[in-house]
Amino acid sequence: MKKEIAGWFYCANWIPLKMDCVKINSILGLHSPLTCSFEDGLSNVHVNSRNEYPYSVLISPKIGEWTLICGYQLSKVEISTWFTERLSLSTQNAFSFGVDIWCGYHAWMFAKEGRVVRYFEWRDGIENTGGQKLAFEKGIDDYSDDSHVFYLSKQIGFDIESIQIEHLAQPATLMTLPSVLNL
């Protein structure tokens, strides 16, 4: 992955899925679609995370067999849980990941058949965990290291490094969260 792309994912939250934008939208009830480039969408969900559109998420173009849901608001446990549980009803398993190196935050969540069964969050030096360790977490001793988020994403099959410069120009879709999530 090029350095220009890596920067986006040092302050990001993402859910990798093997499904298209239409199916994701039908499961989550997202609305107000706005087509943009993947690069512009990443900027929008990051910049607007603290401004006038705090509930925007981005549905990426296909990256290999994967589609990403990206958005700063996924760092909120309630929103990430809602997304991950609903998506796991259709896919059996769903994962969400998050990193913000500027705020000292990183997290991951795993849902199976509609229920979160494992989560981990490190925020401001405080660890918050639940559920049994996943098989591919074995061997991780120092959870304060945010590089584990990228390692775990790679373990389920989605490698952030598979994002190429060409993906940034491809069409993506900004969406607004359903009103039920206006927390």
| pLDDT given for residue 5 in this prediction | 52
CA distance 168 to 176: 21
Residue 53's pLDDT is 52
DSSP code of 124? T
Residue 23, token pair as written in the block: 């199916």
Q: Where would I find the beta strands (DSSP E) of the chain?
A: 11-17, 31-37, 56-59, 67-70, 93-100, 105-112, 115-123, 126-130, 171-176
- Kindly report, residue by residue over 98-142, the tens digit of the pLDDT: 888 777 788 889 999 999 999 988 887 788 888 888 887 777 777
- Cα gap 18→78, rounded to integer Å: 23
**Angle made by CA atoms 148, 97, 69, in degrees to the nearest 5:** 145
pLDDT at 109: 93
pLDDT of residue 38 exceeding 80, the answer is yes
The predicted pLDDT at position 9 comes to 59
Side-chain-facing half-sphere of 57: CA atoms under 13 Å = 26
* 107 against 6, higher pLDDT: 107
pLDDT tens-place string over residues 8-32? 555 678 899 999 888 998 899 888 8
Report yes or no: 21 and 166 within 8 Å, Cβ to Cβ: no
- pLDDT for the residue 114: 95
* Predicted model pTM: 0.85
49: helix, strand or coil? helix
39-95, pLDDT tens digit by residue? 888 877 766 555 455 457 889 999 889 999 988 778 788 888 999 999 999 988 999
Span 139-183, pLDDT tens digits: 777 777 777 888 888 888 888 778 887 888 899 988 888 776 664
> What one-letter code names the amino acid at 113?
E
Cβ partners under 8 Å of residue 157, min gap 6: 16, 66
Over the range 109-145, which residues count as b (16 or more CB within 10 Å of their CB) and which as e?
bbbbeeebebbbbbbeeeeeeeeeebeebeeeeeeee
Q: What is the rounded distance in angstroms from the CA atom of residue 22 to the CA atom of residue 8?
A: 24
